[in-house]
Amino acid sequence: MHWKIFHRKVLAPILEGADEVSMEELSRMHGLKDAKRVLDIGSGNGHFLCRMAERYPGKQFIGIEISEPLVERAFKTAREMKLPNIKFIHDKCPAPGIKEKFDFILARLTIYCSSDREDVLAWAYEILENRTRVGIIELDYDWIYTYPPNPIIEKVFAVHRREFEAHGADCSMGKKVPFMLQNAGFKDIMFEARSWWSSFELTNEQFYNLFSAYGMFSLTVAPDVFSDDDYNSLISFLNKVSSSGAGIVAYPKVVVSGVKSE
């Protein structure tokens, strides 16, 4: 299974219910609250953006996504939710055809897997209104840890890093985003790490489904590295964490924003 298909078809449905905190953080600290026109770079299946459009009916939302099937699915979701304040565009970023300006731009788990990261951020700077923000939500595998330490989680994500980075992803992106925004010209950089995908934030069901899916992916793509015994060890560990709180898995997400100031 290709890693992008894994993210879109396996992980996205598991984590659909974990979006509320992301929206609150973007609204509270990173510029979404006062925005009227919002662009989502890499909107995927559209679920997250549709939830935002439902939550903030006074704002206009546009999602741009390179995968045509995902755009079709996003339109379907928007129609089913009867959302008049959202639309989706099938295109690759940077998208020179988009001429309009926005007063908030969001990129959620997009920059780390983009082959044109610097160009995308430079483009975002150009189409932002002056004195408004871009908000980036990213991952960083270097900051995932268990306590008490358990090597099976490290082994799972070592496989993921190998597979993802072989296709141009950067699984250490989180820590780099502030520097990249600064290089693109953004000012007033704000940075925080949130524990949204951690065992103590997700429901037991979400946590188990998420990390068992990571394990199954590792077993599928690298059985020579991550064996059936490894997978069984992972499941045993997940059950202990879920049922008795015998440990934690911390899986931080990074939230970074910056202001266009000319």
What pLDDT shows up at residue 262? 83
Q: Find the mean pLDDT for residues 83-111.
A: 94
Please write the tens of the pLDDT for every residue from 35-66.
Answer: 999 999 999 889 889 999 999 999 999 999 99
258: three-class secondary structure by DSSP: strand
Decide if pLDDT at 9 tops 70.
no
Residue 29 vs residue 159, higher pLDDT = 159
Q: Residue holding tokens 């015998």? A: 246
CATH code of the domain containing 67: 3.40.50.150
Please say if the pLDDT value at position 79 is more than 90.
Answer: yes
Q: pLDDT at position 172, please?
A: 96
Confidence of residue 167 (pLDDT cuts 50, 70, 90): confident
Pairwise pLDDT comparison (204 vs 86), residue with the higher score: 86
pLDDT, position 26: 78
Peptide bond preceding 96 in cis form (omega within 30 of 0): no
The residue among 258, 32, 259, 238 whose CA lies nearest residue 150 is: 238
What's the structural domain count of the chain? 1
Taking every pair of Cα atoms in the chain, the longest distance, rounded to a whole number of angstroms, is 57
196-246 pLDDT per residue, tens: 889 998 889 889 988 999 999 999 999 999 999 999 999 999 999 998 888
Tell whether pTM > 0.85. yes
Residues in CB range of 80: below 8 A, 6 or more apart: none
The reported pLDDT for the residue numbered 24 is 73
Domain residue limits at 103:
3-259
Is residue 190 pLDDT above 90, yes or no? yes
CA distance 47 to 18: 11
Please say if the pLDDT value at position 1 is more than 60: no
pLDDT band at 80 (very low <50, low <70, confident <90, very high): very high
Helix 228-244 to helix 151-165 angle, to the nearest 10 degrees?
Answer: 120
Q: Quick one: pLDDT at residue 197?
A: 85
